[in-house]
Structure 1
Amino acid sequence: MSIVSRATLTASLDELLQPALFKDYGPNGLQVEGCETVGKLVSGVTASRALIDAAIEQGADAILVHHGLFWRGQDGRVTGWMKQRLSRLLAHDINLFAYHLPLDAHPQLGNNAQLALRLGVDVYPDARGRFGEQALGFLGERVVSSAGQLADHVSKQLGRPVTLVAEPDRTVRRVALCTGGAQSYFESAIAAGADVFITGEISEPQAHYARECGVAYIACGHHASERYGAPAVGAHVAAQLGLAHVFIDIDNPA
């Protein structure tokens, strides 16, 4: 395996994910500076203490996540859980890279594209294949007999129960999806002509919209829907640069 500079890894990730194109809720890219050279990259969903500790055990020089440490509007004091996470990263000289919306949006390796791939959704290759704010939502088709059958398929693929708001025998063909906490994209999915919307979470209003608009809604878990982008990007960049790469999935019921 190769060893590359932190700057080289940063440039490769930025070139792939194009963070400058997005208006996001926190900083994308290098969030915590560690050692100057990287030989082993660990990817995960969230920069939790459990992931950081697991990465330390793996001998990681860098961690790549979807959910980083810093978000717009949060308390800026380094106390409690923030101190615990940062102290581990700094003590072991580990670089932390985080990409939020750019990791959702990548057309092949992002969370939405990878979830569509695993669920067998054929995303439209033209402009019809995107919807919603910053074109983060994906739209395509999947041959399925009913909303209930699709919900069962999603549950089986992700290994967890899902919430379906629809008559189970409702016919669906056009599938919209946007991973994580994308409840607010439901109305855009309806406007885009979706028969069913798949996302991580559901809030109270979406159940009413689903019933009143005749569009099925499947909530499959925030973490469960976003387990695929970080390892896909991590594996791609690691192969490109000759780095060792390990994906660590920290279980999360949310």
Structure 2
Amino acid sequence: MKTPSHPVSRTTLLETLNGLLQPALFTDYGPNGLQVEGRQHIHKLVTGVTASRALIDAAIAEGADAILVHHGLFWRGQDGCVTGWMKQRLARLLAHDINLLAYHLPLDAHPIFGNNAQLALRLGVVAFDGPAGRFGAQSLGLMGRRKSASAAELAAHVAQSLGRAVTLVVEPDRPIERVALCTGGAQSYFEAAITAGADAFITGEISEPQAHYARECGVAYIACGHHASERYGVQAVGAHVAQALGLFHQFIDIDNPA
């Protein structure tokens, strides 16, 4: 990272992130970009997965001027009332004049720094070139190659890489080559992964129907945790932007069993 010599304006940081992640290209579940306006000048950027109270408190303790997250404060379907947990989080941000920036689907999808690309990098999944390397709604899912002797071997590799137990549904001895992945709560992408010819699908969560699809279609389903699968994109984006702009950057991981 460059040695920071002068602050960067909030506008410059926002324009840099928007230019990189292209939020206008996505139909999302909440607003992408600046969600809470803080101080105008930024020296230190803290990144984390979710704008929880624990992350905000940790960022305050580290002297952050801005926080960049994957899961922000505002989502479609909220009632708009600033009470309870929402009031507590907002109160801390406003009292300490900290900017909150959030990018959801744009951060999942970026071909280099996104959650899917970064998880694939850690798991050794090499994305196919062109359209063959994408699947699902808004082309969010990533499809690539990683040969494994069995689904059980792949599941063990994922568990070791992420440092947590995973859920595997399918015959454990099935050999694997074509791997589809989409981080977080992407259960609904499983059918598209099957249609795209995947031997295995890796995501964060599993719901009741996916176990049946896996057994009936013979495609391995590996659920490795929503939070665990989405720790890497925001780190990569934060590090890249900090390097480009000359900011201090720190990733803070707030443990989450989900």
TM-score range for the pair, normalised by the shorter chain length: over 0.9
Q: Could you say which residue in structure 2 is the equivalent of 1:60?
A: 64
SS state at 1:141 partner:
strand
2:82 maps to a residue whose letter is: V
Q: Could you say which residue in structure 1 is the equivalent of 2:10?
A: 6
1:175 Cα deviation (Å)? 0.1
Confirm or deny that 1:114 pairs with 2:114.
no
1:167 Cα deviation (Å)? 1.3
Confirm or deny that 1:232 pairs with 2:236.
yes
Residue in structure 2 matching 1:144, options 144, 148, 157: 148
Q: Structure 2: 5+ residue runs without aligned partners? A: none
Task: Tell me how many residue pairs correspond in the alignment.
Answer: 254
2:30 maps to a residue whose letter is: G
Work out the CA distance in 2 between the residues paired with 1:195 and 1:233.
30
The CA deviation string for residues 139-179 of structure 1, in whole angstroms up to 9 with x for no partner, is 00002111000000000000000000011111110000000
Residue in structure 1 matching 2:160, options 156, 161, 183: 156
Work out the CA distance in 2 between the residues paired with 1:188 and 1:166.
17
Confirm or deny that 1:215 pairs with 2:210.
no
Confirm or deny that 1:177 pairs with 2:181.
yes
2:230 maps to a residue whose letter is: E
Structure 1 runs of 4+ off > 4 angstroms? none
Confirm or deny that 1:33 pairs with 2:37.
yes
Q: Could you say which residue in structure 2 is the equivalent of 1:196?
A: 200
SS state at 1:27 partner:
coil
SS state at 1:245 partner:
strand
1:222 maps to a residue whose letter is: H
Q: Could you say which residue in structure 1 is the equivalent of 2:83?
A: 79
Q: Could you say which residue in structure 2 is the equivalent of 1:102?
A: 106
Q: Structure 1: 5+ residue runs without aligned partners? A: none
Residue in structure 2 matching 1:19, options 11, 18, 23: 23
Work out the CA distance in 1 between the residues paired with 2:111 and 2:148.
24
Normalised TM-score (structure 1):
0.99
Normalised TM-score (structure 2):
0.98
SS state at 2:235 partner:
helix
